[in-house]
Structure 1
């Protein structure tokens, strides 16, 4: 309501409606982020044993057999064999499928089922901040012209409020905008924050060459898996080591990495 009280011109209603829509959209997707990030798929013991048997092997240089697919980890807290891309969150006290990170803003983890909601929350919050920043600038110019025409300065209070809110919008917009760009790159390349920042410590990633990501299925498929999963968890099957081809894209390759 404070925003509407300082917009004292003919565009007040239009500006207010647009900002309110962006506010409600950001709030809605923020609440949706609080939904479960997904429960790990409970695999039967015989499935685990068959999976172990199905791991291909080939002879190395010394004549010994080496595994062609990475082993899965067992969570000592949840007492389950974790599926690939699953990590136990000590704050949530449970395993999170396709774990991205624990976000204190939403009070929980970002995982496979709510990553799209988190991205949409960032998108609308960023839109709200920068749209508000533009409107605050327009209002500041409007009041300045009005004062110049009538020869007196009666809008000092409005100037102060506009400057404070504009600075706040810019700060939050810069923060959310950076996160939005970062998560967009992660989605386009089929990665998560955890996999990007802890690659050298994740067993199913260090198994492969440094610049190869086993779950990068291409731009379109990566987007589909993030936004159109129909709330169904994926079975992340790793490729065999002797059948992989080195990936090269504009974001991450053997020459440079943007993240």
Structure 2
């Protein structure tokens, strides 16, 4: 068990090291954020991923589809992945459009129906819309220079009645150009 004296010394040592490194991301007590899993001071806007078991810079989320964390170094590639997924779903749905709509009866005329094509078409449309909405959300977040985790933290604080101001929840506001070019 850590005594209060030991925790106070640890907090002072963390403050000293963070000041030396030029880090500004502090918790409510003015102590640098510390990752107990990685046993290191957390850099600004980083979070620990329980799936990957490491701290990720500018952590957005852990994506099960790419089996990796989305963060500072691969957010641009995740956005490209979403964009091309939507494009592929749209192209395949476009080519299946006539075959899928052939199942609809026109007046008394009933056209032979291929159930697999119709189900596949509906799946592609649903998938494309869901991926498109996810892409749109990430484009807005990139424009505001926020991560999904920061958005969720902001919503939780808002629901608890806490005002947004300062601290970790206020994004760095470095602009969206960096998100679209260098990541």
Output the TM-score relative to the length of structure 2.
0.69
- Secondary structure at the aligned position of 1:95 is classed as strand
User: Hey, what does 1:215 align to over in structure 2?
Assistant: 172
Q: Tell whether the 8 Å contact from 1:87 to 1:97 is kept in structure 2 after alignment.
A: yes
Shift of 1:152: 9.5
Q: 1:86 aligns with which of 46, 50, 58?
A: 46
Q: 1:187 aligns with which of 120, 137, 142?
A: 142
Q: Tell whether the 8 Å contact from 2:63 to 2:70 is kept in structure 1 after alignment.
A: yes
Structure 2 CA distance for partners of 1:94 and 1:152, relative to 1, 3 Å: closer
Structure 1: gaps (5+ residues): 1-44, 56-69, 231-259
Q: Provide the alpha-carbon RMSD of the alignment.
A: 3.3
Shift of 1:137: 1.5
User: Hey, what does 1:228 align to over in structure 2?
Assistant: 181
Cα separation, 2, equivalents of 1:207 and 1:152: 63
Structure 2 CA distance for partners of 1:88 and 1:206, relative to 1, 3 Å: farther
Shift of 1:174: 2.0
Structure 2 CA distance for partners of 1:161 and 1:214, relative to 1, 3 Å: closer
User: Hey, what does 2:58 align to over in structure 1?
Assistant: 98
User: Hey, what does 1:166 align to over in structure 2?
Assistant: 121
- Secondary structure at the aligned position of 2:123 is classed as helix
Q: Tell whether the 8 Å contact from 1:72 to 1:84 is kept in structure 2 after alignment.
A: no
Shift of 1:183: 0.5
- Secondary structure at the aligned position of 2:55 is classed as strand
Q: 1:50 aligns with which of 14, 20, 26?
A: 20
Cα separation, 1, equivalents of 2:39 and 2:100: 60
Matches within 5 A, 1:1-259: 48-50=18-20, 71-140=31-100, 155-156=112-113, 159-199=114-154, 200=157, 208=166, 213-217=170-174, 221-222=175-176, 224-229=177-182
Cα separation, 1, equivalents of 2:34 and 2:110: 73
Shift of 1:111: 0.6
Q: Tell whether the 8 Å contact from 1:100 to 1:109 is kept in structure 2 after alignment.
A: yes
Shift of 1:107: 1.5
Deviation string for 1:138-158 (max 9, x for gaps)?
A: 3446x68xxx9xx996x54xx
Output the TM-score relative to the length of structure 1.
0.51
- Structure with higher Rg: it is 1
